[in-house]
Amino acid sequence: MLFWGCAAAAPILIHLWNRHRYQEMQWAAMQYLLAAIKKNSRRIRVEQLLVLIVRCLILLLFAMALSDVSCNWSSSLGTSLSMSGTTHTVLVIDGSYSMDYQSGGTSNFEKAKQMAKDIVDSGAQGDGYTLILMSDIPKVIIAEPSYDAADVLREIDQLQMIHSGANVTPALAEITKILEKAKRNHPRLNRNRIRIISDLTKNSWESISSQDATELLEKLSKAASFSVIDVGQVATGNFTISDVQQELPFATIGATTNFNVQVDGSGDPVTTQRAVRMYADDVFVSQQTFDSSADTATLRFSHQFDIAGDHTVEFRLDEDSLSIDNHRWQAVKVKNSLRVLCVAGQPGAAKYLAFALQPDRLQYPTVRPEVVNQSALLELDLLQYDAIMFVNVRDLVQEEAKLLSDYVYAGGGLAFFMGDRVQAENYNNMLASTDGVNILPTKLIGPSVRGNYRFDPREYQHAMLQAFRGQQDGGLLITPIWNYYRTEKPENNLSNVSLWLDSGDPAVIISKPPQKPTDEQHKFHLPGRVAVINIPASIQSVDRTLTPPESWTLFPSWPSFPPVIQELLIELVRSQGDSRNIQVGSPLIGRVEEASTDSSVDLIPPNEQRVRVALETVNGSHQWMFDQTEYSGIYQMIDRSRLDASQSFAVNINTRESDLTRVALEDLPGTLNLNSDVDNGSLSFAGIAGGSATGLFRLLLIMVLLLVLTESILAWRYGTGAA
């Protein structure tokens, strides 16, 4: 439209053309007329020139107004008025799941995509575009500037929202990299503009006031015009299922499995009751309601699984304007029984332990212990056991230590009950080495001196002792202990100590072994838990300095022993479901018994687009990893060599983004020049180099109208005077 400004030359051309369309003839009457005209010729020329200028300005300003409604230097007008070069537009679309908020039947994300397309459509010939999806880790869709507007529009159409949060600071860092690279590789793009389209939720924008974000903004303001387009909503009420916890970290056939479901948020005060429904393997189980006038509610659901294997549980909240956070899934592996391997250091050493694990001789027991001696350890497939417990085993060889390390890093639970036979130096060398196997949570010292000791639960703060709270008559506090095994205190993390002795030494230590980022051997696994129990699990441990030798403790025969062992087992297997229930963005990891012929497995994400995942063989185990968990829901692993060995995984959102509270303008950096554009809902931050949108369209039209009025007045005035 700008080239229509050439029409401003039309009055001048008409004037020049008309000057040569007549012939001069001398006749008597004109002599007197010419004499009069000469007296006023200077005034007439000035009047005609003034009218000509006004008419030219009318056409020129009207063409400028039609050329670009924003009339900024990063628009087509700025491009046309520049001597050379085009504009590089960096489009950043908020991809956090809060953008799925529905308003008027359309999500904020769809609105953002349409606004991005409008920006591209209004661009000039030769402009370049890059595209970023803003999330916790920015996803660059178009890294190099694209000059094909149709291609950019297709990429915008294909954008899919990620079920994660967003963080503006990493997005600013990515924009900086893109602009620096474009400056080197695309010198023709000598103007830059940044357009971020977001709902401006506080959790996504809370880092904007950080030092890193402020420095990035200052740097970007010198290189580009910067504006944020707000597509958010005024309403902030929203309910979400924030957490689902399985009360016991395992499920067995016939036993009742309980789930605690937490709902957080706020909503319409008119609706006082809302419902949560439970589905097991897509079959409705039960429903519970809660008072929506409260900010939080905890609901308890129960279910019995009758078939062993992988099962999925889903909890659904009544639908509202933000539906993504109304669902939460749980992958549950149901077993016939928990299998626990008890390794006895001497005959009869594991008798009390096996009884504590299975006090009731049921046909389908929850826990099934298996007692073996140490010589059988290397012949067993340890991965078939949920936990392994060593009872007063004297020492270990290197092959056994390596086997136990692989077992723990595969997610297994391991416990060592100390006793009079344990050799501290051997355990430290085999299991607590800094350059070899390092799974022991502490270093062993040796037997204590004889004395009278008691357990110190320290207000029962640890989860393992919660069952004993308020049960002081259960015998835990009066357990007779005369000797125990001394270990170093884990100074770095005292919370690893589950139970203390009144001497100040640890009685039970439970922790996970360190996961080294460079450990390729165990990169596929989340390590299980390892426990050191400094009190013997057998009365066979005796103090041989006495004559006759006397027992270390009566704890294995005490009433408190079975519940302590049951709680210990729960702690050992608590993390085994962690690899099956993860958050969006975390990797899925698993293993298969036998590798298929093409060394891969199939993974079916929630969008049902089957993906082939390669297997890697580590220590004879076939393992796989999948890190593209961008969407919440159930992921299914299909082993083509064994269709009955499929595995289910639950991927859930981090509910941080469910809080729709918007960022306060006063929380934005004070170094920014903030302007609010009511018409398009944008917040513009004026940059030094790029300039900001000035909205001259209306001003130009007003000037055109004033000039038209002025031209009419001048034409009438001068025409009347001439007459």
Residue 609: which pLDDT band, with cuts at 50, 70 and 90? confident
Average pLDDT over residues 189-208: 90
Does the domain made of 86-235+671-694 have the CATH classification 3.20.20.150? no
The answer to whether the beta carbons of residues 145 and 182 sit under 8 Å apart is yes
Domain residue spans of the chain:
2-69+699-722, 86-235+671-694, 238-334, 337-577, 583-652
Whether 86-235+671-694 shares its CATH topology with 583-652 is answered no
pLDDT digits (tens, 9 = 90+) for 399-422: 999 999 989 988 899 999 999 999
How far is CA 681 from each of CA 166, 227, 663, 676, 690, rounded to the nearest angstrom? 21, 11, 15, 7, 20
Q: Is the pLDDT score of 615 beyond 60? A: yes
Helix axes 28-67, 697-722, angle to 10 degrees: 170
Residue 529's contacts (CB-CB under 8 Å, 6 or more residues apart) are 413, 414, 510, 511, 512, 571, 572, 574, 575
Average pLDDT, the chain: 84
Q: Is the pLDDT score of 672 beyond 60? A: no
Amino acid sitting at position 506: P
- Residue 389, Cβ density class (10 Å: 0-12 exposed, 13-18 middle, ≥19 buried): buried
Helix axes 10-19, 28-67, angle to 10 degrees: 160
Residue 315: which pLDDT band, with cuts at 50, 70 and 90? very high
Q: Is the pLDDT score of 683 beyond 70? A: no
Query: Who wins on pLDDT, 466 or 534?
Result: 534
Q: Is the pLDDT score of 290 beyond 60? A: yes
Q: How far apart are CA 175 and CA 180, in angstroms?
A: 9
pLDDT digits (tens, 9 = 90+) for 357-374: 998 877 778 999 999 999
* pLDDT score, position 76: 44
* pLDDT score, position 693: 39
Query: Who wins on pLDDT, 264 or 472?
Result: 264
In this structure, of 386-395, 513-522, 553-562, the range with the lowest mean pLDDT score is 513-522
Assigned CATH for 583-652: 2.60.40.10
The answer to whether the beta carbons of residues 157 and 189 sit under 8 Å apart is no
∠ CA(599), CA(597), CA(618), 5° rounding?
Answer: 35
Residue 103: which pLDDT band, with cuts at 50, 70 and 90? confident
Average pLDDT over residues 186-212: 90
Residue 665: which pLDDT band, with cuts at 50, 70 and 90? confident
Q: How many CB atoms lie within 10 A of CB 184?
A: 7
Amino acid sitting at position 543: D
Q: Say how many CA atoms lie within 13 Å of 262 toward its Cβ.
A: 10
Q: Is the pLDDT score of 714 beyond 90? A: no
Query: Who wins on pLDDT, 468 or 533?
Result: 533
Assigned CATH for 238-334: 2.60.40.10
The answer to whether the beta carbons of residues 273 and 349 sit under 8 Å apart is no
* pLDDT score, position 526: 73
pLDDT digits (tens, 9 = 90+) for 323-361: 999 999 999 999 999 999 999 999 999 999 999 999 887
pLDDT digits (tens, 9 = 90+) for 518-531: 455 545 567 899 99
Q: Is the pLDDT score of 690 beyond 70? A: no
* pLDDT score, position 654: 94
Q: Are strands 633-638 and 647-652 parallel, antiparallel or unpaired?
A: antiparallel
Percent composition of the chain: helix, strand, coil (DSSP 3-state, to 5): 35, 30, 35
Structure tokens given for 604: 């079916």
pLDDT digits (tens, 9 = 90+) for 32-69: 666 666 666 666 777 777 877 877 888 787 777 766 54
Average pLDDT over residues 707-716: 79
Average pLDDT over residues 138-158: 95
Amino acid sitting at position 138: P
Q: Is the pLDDT score of 208 beyond 50? A: yes
* pLDDT score, position 696: 58
Q: How far apart are CA 581 and CA 648, in angstroms?
A: 9
- Percent of the chain's residues with pLDDT above 70: 81
* pLDDT score, position 723: 43
> The CATH number of 337-577 is which of 3.30.420.40, 3.40.50.880, 3.40.640.10, 3.40.50.300?
3.40.50.880
pLDDT digits (tens, 9 = 90+) for 430-439: 999 877 789 9
Q: How far apart are CA 304 and CA 312, in angstroms?
A: 13
Residue with tokens 């210990």: 568
Q: Are strands 338-344 and 387-391 parallel, antiparallel or unpaired?
A: parallel
- At 172, which helix (H) or strand (E)? helix 168-185
* pLDDT score, position 331: 96
Q: Over the range 330-346, which residues count as b (16 or more CB within 10 Å of their CB) and which as e?
A: bbbbbbebbebbbbbbb
